[in-house]
Structure 1
Amino acid sequence: MTAAAHDDADVIVVGAGPAGAGAAYWCASAGLDVLLLEKSAFPRDKICGDGLTPRAVSELVRMGVPIREQDGWIRNVGLRVIGGGHRIELPWPELSSYPSYGLARARTTFDQTLAEHARAAGAKLSERTSVTGPVLDERTGRVVGVRARPVDDAGRRAGDEVEYRAPVVIDAGGVSARLATSVGRVKRDDRPMGVAVRTYFRTPRHDDPWMESHLELWDGEPGRSHLMPGYGWIFSLGDGTANVGLGSVSSTAAATKVDYKDLFARWMAHAPAEWEFTPEHQVGPVRGAALPMGFNRGPMYADGLLLAGDSAGMVSPFNGEGIAYGLQAGRVAADAISQALTRGSAAGRERALATYQQRMREDLGGYYTLGRLFVRIIEHPQVMRLCTRYGLPRPLLMKFVLKLLSDCYEPRGGDTVDRVIAGLARMAPAA
């Protein structure tokens, strides 16, 4: 089945972040007519740590995105972990499945690069286009398009509402998932939810080849408060600045009472002076965002609408990363859609589209289940204290932790650590 004569595209993608741009790129590369709708204008910001693990890098390599230093990237060699009086450096593992390096780049240019890459593949990119709701088939209730209107740089209405139609729509619109919510796909409150805040500093640390993680976040003054489940980060961008932020996680979607911006300010007040993490060197405000985790919204496909990236809660409960999984979701979604649009019957099309959720759950469901258990454990301050004080000095344990938390292990084969993690992920129910 292909687009009907009255359709505007084979597939409409809402949101040009990593998941949306990735889906648009792969769909366009498969020869489909793609309409990519983005409510902002590029370049635009996104609350993120700006660091990419080797798993995310491998997705960029698949897409053919240029990742040289002259293209605006800085490579990192691994993770430096600080906590409990310890400081250790953990190189990214040497694997056949993923490269042995990560990348960093500000989201203001990263997302634009992906969107332009999708456009170069043939996707039609429409910026300053705010999607206001779905278009439903009156008979079946199936999503057959979207309503949208042009907006200005401030998000204000700048024209009349129009309809765009396509056999398949992808909601890659982020944590708010307005399109998915409008058709009744509410988030699950029993899944982890993270909160992150970050800003940028001009700093001598801008070219540090290590991603740095600080495991001791106190919800008050150290020694008179609780150790929080989360970490602070310093990700160098190689352009004179570093992305500095912190994130914490809860095992449920219940709101916390922590003032994260105040927590960040207290962390910065104790930073070494030579780092220059001071107001006069700060670039932009401290901004925060929610991180939906562990497949917290679904189904990932039903009635013509697929969910990808943050709209489906594809952030890892282990480390708060969403870029790798958004890119993966875009690739898998495009494959399912390409297959579906060649089928000769509605039933055949639906079977092909249903493989999207099946494949994502098979690959990530068990891992995310382990992540939910991990969050429940580290929510206990005494556990976090024991982990930072006694776990960090143990090299084999930390090798296991790095591969587990970064999702960088050989899914088949590899060393003993890889086989243990892969076995645990397979045994864990993909709920």
Structure 2
Amino acid sequence: MRETDICILGAGPGGATAALHLANAGQRCLLLDRATFPRDKICGDALSGKVVSELRRIDENLPPRLAADATQLPAWGIDFFAPNGRRLGIPFRPNFNKATDPAAGHIAKRIDFDNFLVEEVRQRPEIELLEGVDIAHHERTADGRWHLRSADGAVEITARILLVANGAQSAFARQIGGHQLEPDHHCAGLRAYYQGVTGLSQDNFIELHFIKEFLPGYLWVFPLPNGQANVGVGMLSKTVSQKKINLRQRLTEILETHPALRERFKDAERLGPVRGFGLPLGSKRRSLSGDAYMLLGDAGSLIDPFSGEGISHAMVSGRHAADWTARALAAHDFSASFLRGYDAAVYNRLWQELRLSRAMQRLLAFPWLFNVVANRAANNPTLAETISNMFLDLNLRERLRQPSFYVKLLLGGK
């Protein structure tokens, strides 16, 4: 039986970030994962500017080390393709200079990025990493500790506080955290890797295609190193169920028949199978903690409802979980009421963005609005720069929720 004060389930971005922040604070912890790294995870593979910021909070040397890694590409913006086919290019940083500016974002396969973080974990003596351990049993003991046991019974652990970062399918989040699958707050997605897709951006802009016949879903194409691309589709599970949509079939049809994509994929080769995944969205405010535990990242249903981004949110929650773990240990208080401070900290940082993304997600029901915005921005540099800044400034992004913004566009205003 292993005894520890702090146990973290899951060594992905949320769990690894929490462990590294705890190590920086001089706290020892036990980090478990059922996989052995490097391991793949189904994802869009885009690393936003928030990921870079969270890496810097761990160690200011991590962003330049990531930028120098051959497994990533620097990303400079997003190409939105409106339902009418109009492209709206939104740089992450207006007037960027690739020769002098650090990249605002990156694109890297999760097998590589997650391993990048785990390699940092391996360097820290404060962190004990156990791989290939699938925790199947967890219960509170009479003295308030968590008792954990692996599926094969080979590993047993007791811990004073548990940080749960073991992903969207977390049994703990469902059984103890109360996070049930809600189709209106859950996204179904597919991902495949391709070689030889043509027409990718020279500046590695990621592509989001809002195709009229596929709304309210969207298709993405993200460039990767070595001429590869991450290609996939996402749609609310509620819509998939109501409309009986076969996402796998629709993905194939779009790539083979859509006028803007069929030529680009004509000679492309798919690398491996199309793989599916589910995303519990942060479009609903849920409890993230309880007696002696905290839920991180996907296990806490913190995925962006519009973009599907989850990596940076996992890292934000990991940072706050490390902070509140240290506070709980110092106060000798692991109660649900004390740990609600973790919920408040996470939502104080993320809720405005999640709320705005939920509003943007709902706009997918009005494709003509996307067309209006794309048409106006294509001919109005000031509007295009304003929209670009919306990805950096939440106060500006708030305008997307206001009807007056679209009224002005319809009337020809800026």
TM-score if structure 2 supplies the norm length? 0.83
User: Which residue pairs with 2:72 in the alignment?
Assistant: 73
Q: Does the aligned pair in 1 maintain the 2:283–2:305 contact within 8 Å?
A: no
Alpha-carbon deviation of 1:190?
Answer: 7.5
User: Which residue pairs with 2:160 in the alignment?
Assistant: 167
User: Which residue pairs with 1:331 in the alignment?
Assistant: 319
Alpha-carbon deviation of 1:216?
Answer: 3.1
Residues 114, 269 of structure 1: alpha-carbon distance in 2 compared, 3 angstrom cutoff: same
Cα distance per residue 1:2-55 (max 9 Å; x no partner) = xxxx86222111111111111111112211221111111122111111011212
Measure the CA separation in 1 of the matches of 2:26 and 2:301. Answer: 29
User: Which residue pairs with 1:392 in the alignment?
Assistant: 374
User: Which residue pairs with 2:23 in the alignment?
Assistant: 28
1:172-251 equivalences in 2 (<5 Å): 172-183=165-176, 185-187=178-180, 189=182, 192-203=185-196, 205=198, 208-217=202-211, 226-249=213-236
Measure the CA separation in 1 of the matches of 2:385 and 2:141. Answer: 52
Q: Give the counterpart letter for 1:17 in structure 2.
A: G
User: Which residue pairs with 1:365 in the alignment?
Assistant: 351
2:294 to 290, 296, 306: 306
> Secondary structure, in 3 states, of the residue corresponding to 1:388?
helix
Alpha-carbon deviation of 1:409?
Answer: 2.0
Residues 7, 334 of structure 1: alpha-carbon distance in 2 compared, 3 angstrom cutoff: same
Alpha-carbon deviation of 1:421?
Answer: 7.7
Alpha-carbon deviation of 1:146?
Answer: 1.8
User: Which residue pairs with 1:354 in the alignment?
Assistant: 340
User: Which residue pairs with 1:87 in the alignment?
Assistant: 87
Cα distance per residue 1:245-293 (max 9 Å; x no partner) = 1212357896762111111111221334455564xx2111111111111
Alpha-carbon deviation of 1:87?
Answer: 1.7
Pair 1:109 & 2:112 matched: yes
> Secondary structure, in 3 states, of the residue corresponding to 1:167?
strand
1:52 to 21, 32, 47: 47
Measure the CA separation in 2 of the matches of 1:88 and 1:374. Answer: 16
Alpha-carbon deviation of 1:94?
Answer: 5.6
Residue-pair matches, total: 384
Q: Which has the larger share of helix?
A: 2
User: Which residue pairs with 2:407 in the alignment?
Assistant: none
> Secondary structure, in 3 states, of the residue corresponding to 1:337?
helix
Q: Does the aligned pair in 1 maintain the 2:296–2:317 contact within 8 Å?
A: yes
Measure the CA separation in 2 of the matches of 1:305 and 1:263. Answer: 40
User: Which residue pairs with 1:221 in the alignment?
Assistant: none
The more displaced of 41-50 and 390-399 is 390-399
> Secondary structure, in 3 states, of the residue corresponding to 1:9?
strand
Q: Does the aligned pair in 1 maintain the 2:90–2:387 contact within 8 Å?
A: no
Alpha-carbon deviation of 1:191?
Answer: 5.2
Alpha-carbon deviation of 1:239?
Answer: 2.2
User: Which residue pairs with 2:410 in the alignment?
Assistant: none
- Structure 1 unaligned spans of 5+: 1-5, 150-158, 219-225, 412-416, 425-431
User: Which residue pairs with 1:147 in the alignment?
Assistant: 149
Q: Give the counterpart letter for 1:362 in structure 2.
A: N
Q: Give the counterpart letter for 2:86 in structure 1.
A: H
User: Which residue pairs with 1:132 in the alignment?
Assistant: 136
The more displaced of 202-211 and 302-311 is 202-211
Cα distance per residue 1:353-411 (max 9 Å; x no partner) = 33211111222223323333333342x2xx12x0332211233555555555x5x3267
2:123 to 115, 120, 123: 120
Q: Does the aligned pair in 2 maintain the 1:207–1:240 contact within 8 Å?
A: no
Cα distance per residue 1:276-331 (max 9 Å; x no partner) = 564xx211111111111116584211111110001111001121100010011101
Measure the CA separation in 2 of the matches of 1:75 and 1:193. Answer: 29
Q: Does the aligned pair in 1 maintain the 2:34–2:135 contact within 8 Å?
A: yes
Q: Does the aligned pair in 2 maintain the 1:52–1:102 contact within 8 Å?
A: yes
Give the share of equivalent positions with the same residue, in percent. Answer: 27
Q: Does the aligned pair in 1 maintain the 2:78–2:208 contact within 8 Å?
A: no
Residues 232, 190 of structure 1: alpha-carbon distance in 2 compared, 3 angstrom cutoff: closer
How large is the Cα RMSD of the aligned pairs?
A: 3.1
Q: Give the counterpart letter for 2:369 in structure 1.
A: C
Pair 1:258 & 2:252 matched: no
> Secondary structure, in 3 states, of the residue corresponding to 2:138?
strand
Measure the CA separation in 2 of the matches of 1:176 and 1:207. Answer: 34
Alpha-carbon deviation of 1:137?
Answer: 1.8
Measure the CA separation in 2 of the matches of 1:105 and 1:401. Answer: 25
> Secondary structure, in 3 states, of the residue corresponding to 2:351?
helix
1:284 to 272, 290, 294: 272
Measure the CA separation in 2 of the matches of 1:125 and 1:277. Answer: 43
Cα distance per residue 1:113-171 (max 9 Å; x no partner) = 112212222311111110102131236xx45242224xxxxxxxxx5343211111111
Residues 364, 274 of structure 1: alpha-carbon distance in 2 compared, 3 angstrom cutoff: closer
> Secondary structure, in 3 states, of the residue corresponding to 1:46?
coil
User: Which residue pairs with 2:98 in the alignment?
Assistant: none
Q: Does the aligned pair in 1 maintain the 2:356–2:397 contact within 8 Å?
A: no
- Structure 2 unaligned spans of 5+: 96-100, 404-414
Q: Does the aligned pair in 2 maintain the 1:209–1:236 contact within 8 Å?
A: no
Measure the CA separation in 2 of the matches of 1:255 and 1:44. Answer: 34
TM-score if structure 1 supplies the norm length? 0.80
> Secondary structure, in 3 states, of the residue corresponding to 2:287?
coil
Cα distance per residue 1:221-253 (max 9 Å; x no partner) = xxxxx4412321111112231111121235789
Cα distance per residue 1:64-93 (max 9 Å; x no partner) = 332123352210111112231312321113
Q: Give the counterpart letter for 2:371 in structure 1.
A: R
Q: Give the counterpart letter for 1:14 in structure 2.
A: L
